[in-house]
A and B are shown apart, each in its own frame.
Chain A
Amino acid sequence: GENVEQHPSTLSVQEGDSAVIKCTYSDSASNYFPWYKQELGKRPQLIIDIRSNVGEKKDQRIAVTLNKTAKHFSLHITETQPEDSAVYFCACLGGYNKLIFGAGTRLAVHP
């Protein structure tokens, strides 16, 4: 069945360091891979996404890489700031526009 594994479940970094979150998926037909950020008490919001026709996408301090052969994709946050502290979810597109979400990574950025 469709499945997404996300690691690590928690991540603690010092302000200014980089953070990397990794996900693997099982459905080789999936062609859309979004990342959502959920701050405490708020709704999940899309921060970046990538489609299978590209290998990397950047938006300021965040970047996502995709390896379709290995079926894994990663989120990279550089120069982390305290406001980056949140839960991050990876996802891949399943049938009928459904998103299969990973279990989430709780990122804490310490000043």
Chain B
Amino acid sequence: DAGVIQSPRHEVTEMGQEVTLRCKPISGHNSLFWYRQTMMRGLELLIYFNNNVPIDDSGMPEDRFSAKMPNASFSTLKIQPSEPRDSAVYFCASSSRTGSLNEQFFGPGTRLTVL
């Protein structure tokens, strides 16, 4: 398995533009998590899905952020409009609730810079 796949790996955009981050979880995993990491705020959980259903989006900072999971193999995190303070590394992670398996596998991250 290729692991969790994220795209793009780097994104540089201007303030006000729409940004879409993409994630493909590990096949067979039924939980998917979006995190944001900055030096100031550390690793923050933004939203997570179980069986494609959003369970808790209380970590989403503002209405400018939205996430979808249309099927078990794809999720998006969208920021519209983007602002400089959104600059961070965004990680997607997936895990399986089957049996006692709880390990979360992280993708390589998307480094977002909003100018």
List residues of chain A with CB under 8 Å of any chain B CB. Answer: 32, 34, 42-46, 49, 51, 89, 93, 96-99, 101, 103-104
B3, closest chain A residue (CB): A43
Q: Which label, helix, strand, loop or mixed, suits the secondary structure of the B interface?
A: strand
| Alpha-carbon distance between A96 and B109 when the two chains are bound, in angstroms | 23
CB <8 Å contact, A97 and B102: yes
In chain B, positions 96-114 with a C-beta closer than 8 Å to chain A are 97, 100, 102-109
Interface status of B50 (Cβ within 8 A of chain A): yes
In chain B, positions 32-84 with a C-beta closer than 8 Å to chain A are 33, 42-43, 45, 48, 50, 55-56
CB <8 Å contact, A43 and B56: no
CB <8 Å contact, A34 and B103: yes
| Alpha-carbon distance between A94 and B36 when the two chains are bound, in angstroms | 19
Which residues from chain B contact A103 at a C-beta distance below 8 Å?
42
Known: A96-B56, A97-B97, A98-B48. A43 touches B43 (CB 8 A): no
Given contacts A93-B102, A99-B102, 20 further A-B contacts (CB under 8 A): A34-B102, A34-B103, A34-B104, A42-B108, A43-B91, A43-B107, A43-B108, A44-B43, A44-B106, A45-B106, A46-B104, A49-B102, A51-B100, A96-B48, A96-B55, A97-B102, A98-B33, A98-B48, A98-B55, A98-B56
A97, closest chain B residue (CB): B31
